[in-house]
Structure 1
């Protein structure tokens, strides 16, 4: 497995240090906006159908599924770029409690995103709707974790 410095060295061969930092920060922010936008968009589609008492059409369900997969890819991109940025900026992962709280929240978001995608896949294969209780647990865990991530990031990086 590549360590942060080893991955950085491989990427550094492509771009010089400052260009690499700008590239990774840009990719990190694009992934952040993509994950957030896709998550909110999927929630809005589901909420509107539920509020109106309608089942989503097959096309809407497929769209929500694609949005979920794209959001998972964006969250993975956040993890990878965040890890590489930590190596470039701090020489490794910061050791503050706030950073670890942020990392814990990000881990829960990744797990719930993966879980929601797997549940959606299971339900599509079975021809049944996703289990509402499980999806609600995923949704609330992501919302709370997002709050932890935002507060942890603000606390961890405000002194740097």
Structure 2
């Protein structure tokens, strides 16, 4: 059991660090970009609304429409990028979590084959491993939310 516990700690720590390094910064960057682009789009809309008479008088509707479309397409592109990154992060998290069901039997399987463990002990160890792993990998599962929080803090600091 001490070897299994040590392995759980290493497994959860490695997964959390990999998740943070592989997806955390990308999620934070994309979220920051999305928030900035959405603010820019709102600013453009307000500017056009406030200057509607001038835009109409100088027949600038077409130019304003093109600027709006470009800004909206930027927001849309970034949103899709964020969806892809979050999908990759969720896939990694789920796959890594499912790996616990394969890792434990591989670790204790030889002891079962030697007759040192009963078959039921493997499923008990697997469930215990999953519970401890779930608790230890909380940060890994919340990387998107942590990144969003960090973006909010960064934007508040800029004010």
**TM norm structure 1:** 0.40
Q: Identify the structure with bigger relative contact order (alpha carbons < 8 Å, sequence gap 6+).
A: 2
Higher helix share: 2
